[in-house]
Amino acid sequence: MKKLLLCLIPFLTTTVFAQFPIGSRTITYNDPARSNRAIQCEVYYPGVAAGNNAVVAVGEFPIIIFGHGFTMQPTAYPNWKDEFVPDGYIMVFPATETSFSPNHEAFGLDLRFLATQMQNEGTNVSSPFYQHVSNRTAIMGHSMGGGATFLAASGFAGVDCIVGLAPAETTPSAVSAAATVTAPTLVLSGTSDGVTPPADHHIPIYNGVGADCKYFVNIQDGSHCRFASSPGLCTFGEIIPGSLSAADQQAVSYAVCHPWFDYFLKDDCAAWDVYLTTLSSETDLGTIESDCVNDAPVIADNNGTLESDQQPNYQWYLNGNAIPNADQQTFAYSNSGTYQVATTILGNCPNFSNEIVVQITGIVEREINLTTIGNRIQLKSRDRLDNVVFEWFDLSGKLVASNSVSTMTANKTITIEEPEFSGIKLLRLTSNQATKTWKLF
């Protein structure tokens, strides 16, 4: 797994303009597995017009189930529905367990039940959401609802991603439940949280998550209650909040969550790069820790057989078209054209490798010669190359080292250092004029 610690630089976020009016309904669902437990919900959705009981807009929309904080109501979070529903999401806020003695386990089960129930609504001809629900669902929550999110997602395959906003430890333990969470996980934590100190709540929950992809995002000087625009009693537990304003804390939270949800719930493949750019550039973010791999594969020619680095799955392409049954790590080509391999690691978006252009007689590339001398690599190109980048990968596809030069002069040798790591290495050269990959033993 890849461990990242990012230091962040200034960035100006873009505004996403509303597309849909917000319709709303108050609906009580009953869970037959728990003696028909009544779960009253406030449901907000893209409508043909704004208002209560409005007709749902044309289209299928992903679901976000939102769990409220301790003693808080769904009405504490109008900012979240105002931000995401116009962008084409259905948001469901259960109003259960709002007392001073909440049952965390029951609340987690409510969130899980609603994730399944809302999918069923999409296929129920008598539901107002019939044929308006896509097959993508997220569960998220704040404080107690954040901890309950991990209870809900534990061992549950019906969720595509989760988000915890200052998640609180619960009874039963959200930290323990996190071990069997497999959905991609995002935790947002205010560094000045005065209600659930990150070291006692957010960090142990994040560390316990068993998912293959998880991110812990610090909001510099962020508070506990300011994830909600109407926090009510929450503020009595946070006498001295962080210095970041509520508006700024919410804005940076949206900036992180928008591409996260777009990628996992809308299959917007470009959103992953937007997400990573946001993490590296939003001024109100602090350090970020991640344990997540979503690297593009690297391919090379091996005497007439194209070979990818190690990936969880493979699909080879010729001229942009998937090759039937070409789903192994290697592919022996017999036709001319442009070859790539794709792998799907996160969500439903394939990552494509570098291209290799093939003629029946072999690989057609600029003539670039490589010679090894000890731990040094000498390269000479027959033609001038501009904006040259050298990237070193191990066979798992992990980027180990990189460096660049502005120009390689034609027929002039340059020398680069081979990075110090054991095993077979892949060196990829990219430039404005050519791309070439070598496997070095």
Which structural domains are found in the chain, ordered by start? 3-291 (3.40.50.1820), 293-363 (2.60.40.10), 365-441 (2.60.40.10)
pTM over the 0.75 mark: yes
pLDDT tens per residue across span 149-175 = 999 999 999 999 999 999 999 999 999
- Side by side, the strands of the sheet bearing 22-31 are 3-6, 285-291, 214-219, 185-190, 161-165, 133-142, 61-67, 90-94, 37-46, 22-31, 51-52
Omega within 30 of 0 (cis) for the link into 167: no
Q: What mean pLDDT, rounded, does the chain reach?
A: 91
pLDDT tens per residue across span 331-369 = 999 888 899 999 999 999 999 998 888 876 544 556 888
Q: Taking 80 as the threshold, does the pLDDT of residue 114 lie above it?
A: yes
Retrieve residue 402's tokens: 């990189």
Report CA torsion sign: 112, 118, 124, 126. positive
Residue 15: predicted pLDDT: 35
pLDDT tens per residue across span 382-428 = 888 999 999 888 766 778 889 999 999 999 999 998 888 777 788 88
Mean pLDDT of 79-92: 98
Residue 360: predicted pLDDT: 61
**Four-point Cα dihedral 278, 280, 282, 283, nearest 10:** 180
Retrieve residue 429's tokens: 């050269």
Closest CA to 216 of 292, 294, 149: 292
Rounded to an integer, what is the distance from CA 77 to the centroid of its chain?
Answer: 23
20 DSSP 8-state letter: S
Q: How many residues does the chain have?
A: 441
> Which residues are paired to 175 by β-bridges?
none
Residue 14: predicted pLDDT: 32
pLDDT band for position 434 (50/70/90)?
confident
